[in-house]
Structure formats: structure tokens, C-alpha cells
Structure 1
Amino acid sequence: MQDFIMGSGYYNILATVLLVMNFERTRPMQDSCSKCPAGTFCEKNKDHICIACPSNSFSSTSGQRACDICRQCEGVFRTKKMCSPTSNAECECISGFHCLGERCTMCEQDCEQGQELTKEGCKDCCFGTFNDQKHGTCRPWTNCSLDGKFVLVNGTKERDVLCGPASSDFFPRTTSATIPAPARDPGPTSQILIVFLALMSAAVLFLVFFLALRFSIVKHSRKKLLYLFKRRVRDVVKTVRKVSRATHGVASSVTVAQYPNRAVDIGVSCVHSCLSPDHVRGLA
């Protein structure tokens, strides 16, 4: 057991010596590469010459063994700063997108105020939340009661609530708020009056319609009665002429022919004397 421990100690000492010798051998090479400034790299040969970085590459620190490839701003990225021999290119997002991360490694779609970006796209903030920026997520409204305050202005999906002290503390005591009188309920009386006026209007319209209809019927009846009466008079005149011819002979016929108007007057007089009012109404 003791021999094993001594052997292990020997190997440890040997490994330490070899490590020191290797460090001393490589230190001149490290010292020579450290002299290469940013924008160059140290070539891997015995001379350790500093060579300028080629196009589309850079070295931001001294002593680099190789230059780094410049970043390409493509797709949703656009160039904010061009690549140089000592610094990498800087990118930014195109219009309608915003950067994620310190170095703008990703672009995220912009949304309108009052919205947030989800897997399905831009969605409106739910009730009780808001977002006053074009990026980020919807945040809940401030709970004014936790600080012993009251809500002065209600929140929206674009703005947070505005908290403040109670109205008695916020406004001077010398001023008094004017409280509007409550609106009066119309009550049953007003409703009954409205119904009564509606019924009266309907009754007036019905009465006007009835009178117009009655007047039309009476006017039509009078025209019909007058027509029947004239027709009856003609029949009576014809009858009178026939009777005159039969009773008075040729002389009477000549008289009637010479004085036709007088014959008509005789017939009308006969009608007025012979026809009763009931008979006239029956003709209608």
C-alpha cells in the first residue's frame, strides 16, 4: 500500500514538470500573437505574422487566431450598422416588427395598442387588462383599493385605470357637487292618459270615415231617385198623351202637338197630385 502511494506521488511530480516545460515552450508563440491588434489575426506558422481580416470578416479583440464571419441581415432583418474589420454588423427589424434580445437575434410582429401577440396573431386585450405599447403582453388594471384609493378614470384596453384619493379628500370642502335630480317615473296616470288620447284619436278617425261614407251613400241615393223620378214623369207624359188622343179626338191631338210644353206641365201636375211621398220613396 505504501509503495502504491509513493508511485502515485512520483507520477504527479512528473506530470507537473512536463506541464511547466510545455508552458515555457509555447509562451513565446502566445506573446507574439498577442501583439496582433483587432482587425487582424495571427497566422499559424513559426513566424506568427499578423494578417488583416479578409472581406466580410472581423476580429474585435487582439491576439485572435482567426477572424469571425460578419452577420448577414436578411429576411425580416435590415442592416443597422455595416460590418467593419473590428466590429460585427448590427441588424434591426423591418417595419411592423420589433427586436427580441439584446442583440436583436429575433423579430416579433408588432400589434396595435390594446392588443397582444398570440399564436393565432394579434388579439385584443381581455376586459380588465391593457397594453399601451405595440409589443409586449396585456397587463391587468391597477387595483386602486389595495392602496386605499378609488378609481377616478376607468381603464380601457389601451390605458390603465387612474387611481386617486376619495372625492371628499380630492376636492376642496368649500365646493359642493351638484347632484342631478333623479328622473321621475311616468307612473300609471301618464300611461292611462296616453291610452285615452290614443283611443280618442281612433274614435275621431272612425267618425270622419263614417260621415264620409254616409255622405257618399246619400248622394248616390239622391241621384238614383232623381233618375227614377224623371223616368216616371216621361211615362206619365206618354200616358197623358194617349188619354188625350182617346178622349178629345183629333183636336186634342193637334193641341198637344202645338203646345208640347203645356202637355208636359199637365203631366207633371198630375204626377204631383197623384203620387204620394210613400210612392216616391218606393221608386228609389
Structure 2
Amino acid sequence: MVWQKLALAVCLLAVWTVGHARDCGDGQIEISGQCCNTCPPGTYMEKFCSDRLQSVCSPCPTGHFSDQHHTFDRCEPCRVCQQENSEKCTATTDATCSCRSGFLCSDSICSSCEEDKCVTGEERKRIDVPSGAGLMKYSYQCEPLCSEHAYFDTRDNTCKPRIECSAYGLAERFPGNKTHNSVCDKPDMRRDDGSTSSVILGVGFVSLSVVLLLFLSYTCVKNQRKHTENRSPVRAASTNHSEFHLSKEESGLHLISQAESKDSNSLDQVHLEQVTSC
């Protein structure tokens, strides 16, 4: 009997709900027995409907939004981002946050950021922790990309085994790390007792001395040639009489002397001919 009464009550409630739902149209809701219009996205309900007036909706103020039909008397405040906005807040959509390079989102909506502490050669592992209201908190751990005896080659973007210097009978200069291979000490690079350094210094000193000697010799020869060239014109001037130029008076006297000499020679020739004829 009790179950029959309960079933009848459920049926009456369903019929009543369907009847009221049919009375209100799309975008309306029943409030106090009356179908009231809901406010569309980007607005809020400033005044509720009454017997004589329908609902009054107003635009969301700056910094607020509503993304669905509702009957609330206010809009939701926009999300505040700690670093950057991927998408800015509008009247109908909330802001979307992001972090700058080198930082990571600390939750599913990226409301705050934390520094990325992982370096090259490490991979980032994210751990999700539920925190209620559909929000997911994030935490991060850095783990090596390669095994203990390998390194991450950034050029080939892959893990490679590190060289074991002892396997080749060589000393190890650098043990290698997460991103660099080991460096072995070659036999010709090992330290000696100082004899090599002494030989290098001796050869260098001898070479420097030879260069200095050649330079001094060249300088002396060059100066000697200059001195010789400066004295040569004086000797030529003192020995070559044909290059002297006489003045006009001296040239005249020289010509007269030559003429008198010719006349004297002519007279001597005539006198000699007369004596011969006698």
C-alpha cells in the first residue's frame, strides 16, 4: 500500500513538472509560478520578472563575464593571470593564462607559474594532484634522459654511451656529464719532467738571436751603402774636368789663345820652308 502511494506521488510530480515545462518557452525559467526570461551570455539579470514586467538584463561590466544563459544578478570576475594571457577576457569568455619561457603552470588553469628547474639532459615529469572544484594542481620532477653511463647529445638529440678511457689504457681528463662525453688524455698530451719545455725555450731563444743578428747585419749594410752613394758624386766632380762649364769671358780668352797658337805654328812652318829652299 505504501509503495502504491509513493508511486502515485512520483507520477503526479512528473506530470506537474512536464506541465510547467511546457508552459515556459526556450530561454525561460519558471520563477514563483511565472515564466521569466533568462539573461544571455555577456549579461546579468538586473531585475527579475514580475506579474507585469519581464526580466531586465544588463551587460557585464569591464573585468567580468558570463558564458551561458543564467538568472544571476551579477557576472563572474575575469581570471587574473600571474604572468601572461593567452586569451584576454571578454564579456562572454574568461581569460586564458600562460607562463613565460622558463616557467611552468602550477595548476590546470595556469593561475600561477613556477620556475622550470630541469636542464638539458633531463626530462620533466608532471604529477597531478586534485584540489577540488575541478582544479588540478601540478608538481614537477626532473629525471635524467639517459642512463648512468651515457650522455645526451644535443646535436643528434639522442643518448650516446660515454667513452671509458681506462678501456684504452688512457688517463681521464674529463669524466663527462649528462650532456658531454668523457675526454681522454692522449699519450702525447701527458705531462713530462720539464725537458720538453726547456727544449722549446732553447729553440725559441736561438731563433730570436738569429733573427736579431740578421736584422743588425741588414741595417749595417744598408747604412754603408747610403754612405758610399753620398760620397760618389764628389769624386766624379773632382776628376771629370769636361763637365765644368766656363763663363763667357773665360771662353773668349780660351778661343784667342787657341788662335794665337795656330798663327805661331803657321809662321814656324813658313820659316822652315824658306830655309829648306835655300
| TM bucket normalised to smaller | 0.3 to 0.5
- TM (norm. structure 1) is 0.37
- TM (norm. structure 2) is 0.37
Name the structure with the higher strand share.
2
Name the structure with the higher helix share.
1
